Chain A
Amino acid sequence: MNYPPCFQDSEAKKEIERLCRENNIDILLLKDLCELLNEYSGMGRKEGVIQDIEDIIDRFIKRS
């Protein structure tokens, strides 16, 4: 897994954790979405990205 460095920075991580807690989602959901968009980065047309987002959200709903 290759997440953006902000997920490893202690100060940034605290903010991310606080916001996730307040909005009742988990960090994994954000990490998955970031990784997905990283995969799609550099592509002009991001075909299939909406379906992939939905899959990630479904995985979150299932595990929560």
Chain B
Amino acid sequence: MYLSKVHLENWRSYEDATFNFKKPNGRKPLILIGAMNGHGKTSFLIALYLGLFGKFGLRYCEGFTQDPENNPFYRKAIQLFRRNSANADQPSLVEMVFSPTLQDTDFQEVRIVRRWFFDSSNRPKLGEAFETVEIYRDDRPIKVQDLEYAHDKIEKLLFPAHIMPAFLFDGEQAQMLINNSGAPGIKKAVEVMFGTKIIDDVHAQIEQYLNICHQKLGGKKQASFKEQELSSKTSERQRINAQLTELQKKHIEKEKEKEEIENSRKEAMERLTMLGGQKALDVKKLGEELLMQEQNKSTAEKNLTDTVRHLGLALSLTRLGTPIENRLKSEEIREKWERLRESTMERAEQVIAVAVPEPPSSDELLGNLSQEIRDRVKDRFKRALQQIYNPPPNGCADSYLCGHVKGEQRHVVFDLLCQVRAQNASDIRQKAKKLKEAREIYEETIIRNERLTNLPDEVNELANQLDSFHSQIDEAIRRLNSIENEIKKLKGDLHNLNSEIGKLQEEIASMEPQQKRIAVAERIHRVLTELSDKLRPIALNHLEELVTHHFLLIADKRFKGRIKFPKDAAPIFEFQTGKSQAIDIMSGFERRSFGIAFSLALAEITQKRVPLIIDTPLGNADSKYRPRLLQALTDVALDQIIILTHDQEVNGELLSSIDQKVSQKYLVIYSDESNASSVFENSFFGEQK
């Protein structure tokens, strides 16, 4: 359906104004109604609320949500909405026409005309004379007994009154949509529009039908043997059903109990972690870590001692190493030189014996010399031989400073010096660093050891608690399994009983037509009992998926997750990280986005092609949000979307981006001169004709 006409008389700033909306063609669902603040946007929306559902609609009007059932208050409200310069004899009037679109095969045009009458002093008339409603279906009037009947009839012909604000709403009233989408609101909306309410109604009527049928048969006293058997089986089934309900209740309680124990265990674990440090997950692990740290401490101490010892030797030899080595080398040369000289001198007598042989008679050359001369020649030879080793070779020490270090001992000292030289500065720094680290680990271990030794009571207590929680959880799981088995068994019994009852009913039905009807009604009853429970979660799941889909299209990219409608609580956004945020504490525009997403989702889930009428949908949204929100609105498969807007909301590039989806534009201008708002079709801000 689509809204094809709105006619207002003596309504706020409208003296006599008509909006005629074209039949939507699918490609252009948007209608823009532009009006500056105070020129008639909200008056248009309020006219729809009150024109459709009168007193009931007042609760959705901004500023009138309190005490909606109070009748005198309603009269006063209508007086406020009445055009202040209206003639007393002229009523205030709201007329709306809803027409079928091409897809609405079984919808007939509905025209509603609601009038409010005033006395000569322009005060609301008393009693029933105040308000009248006319309803026409395909131009044929429907007899309306009273306002209550009219309300029911309009609900049946169009849509339920309490979901009206999901389709006709002021962007500012998104909070109301959130509240309405809480447990009761969502339940009503889904029940009515997904059809579960009708299923419940059928269920109740079938129950009544069964009672009447049994009464007609004269009650159970008159029943045949088969009927008595059936009655007994039915009672048995009731007993099992009651037992099943009881067990299911117990199951829920036990689940809750288990959850509580698990939460307590989690708290104890967290407390234990805080006491024992990040790595201490439980007492056993704390113990293991304590042992490990003690070992680390011993290793650190050993490392410390070794490092200091090596470091001491290295430090003492590093600076004197080269001079000592040079000294030892020069003394080694001296030692070699002296050894060579001594060895030569030891053989000097033999050399002289060759040069001056004894006795003189054997010396052909110098045998005739006196003994004294011969001795002097020998002495000269000896001095000459000594002269071979003078001066001492280069690098030879003048004397021995380390005379006690000789031969092999000198090589041991050389090796030690090499080792010391290999321990260069960076090696020493590394060792110092290791020493520091070892000391730190050692100190930390001491602190942790102290902390742990000071807290044994609390840690032990927590450990005991954890043990107890483990046992309790095991017990709860055992109990839950046992209940589940009982439930399974009872369901099996119930299934068998149902077949037996079915057979009995068939047998009875073959005897009497009335009993046959009872058998069918019983089966319908069974289907409906189960169906009602099955449909609600399906509907809710669909709704959550669709609201999330539309919300994510509009909202900021940081929203990654899913909207949830918890039982008996306001809707939340559950992030992928596991955190959740209540919608009603989100920013104004995010709440507005949720409201619009909710409307779009309801429209989809219920497959009601209801026109969507939004007053200032963008509000104070920033430049990023605006195109996304408008895009979301135009992308959804709705026949008609009427946007009431002002000159600063949908304009410029934004207007150009949706222009191809706009079928009609209106401009409403209030004139002080005429004290009335005039409606200009095919006009908009900056496009006045």
Contact = CB atoms under 8 A, between A and B. Distances in A.
Contacts of B535: 6, 12, 15
A31 to B, nearest CB: 10
B209 interface: yes
B134 to A, nearest CB: 17
B205 A42 contact: no
Interface string B501-531: 0100000000000001100110110111011
B554 interface: no
Contact of A58 (B151, B201, B517): B517
Contacts of A29: 520, 524
Contacts, number: 111
What is the size category of the interface that chain A forms with chain B?
Answer: 35 or more
B209 A30 contact: no
A43 B619 CA distance: 41
Contacts of B155: 41-42
Interface in B182-212: 193-196, 198-199, 201-202, 205-206, 208-209, 212
A9 B209 contact: no
Nearest to A4: B195
Nearest to B509: A61
A24 B502 contact: yes
Contacts of A41: 152, 155-156, 198, 201
What is the size category of the interface that chain B forms with chain A?
Answer: 35 or more
Given A41-B156, A41-B201, A46-B205, A6 B527 contact: no
A9 B542 contact: yes
A23 B209 CA distance: 18
A54 B209 contact: yes
Contacts of A46: 205
B539 A57 contact: no
A17 B608 CA distance: 23
B628 interface: no
A19 B527 contact: yes
B605 interface: yes
Given A25-B524, A37-B205, A43-B152, A15 B538 contact: yes
A51 B106 CA distance: 25
A5 B605 contact: yes
A32 B608 CA distance: 20
Interface of B: 106, 151-153, 155-156, 193-196, 198-199, 201-202, 205-206, 208-209, 212, 502, 516-517, 520-521, 523-524, 526-528, 530-531, 534-535, 538-539, 542, 605-608
In the A-B complex, the 8 residue pairs with the smallest Cβ-Cβ separation, listed nearest first, are A4-B195, A42-B152, A6-B195, A23-B523, A37-B201, A19-B527, A33-B202, A15-B534
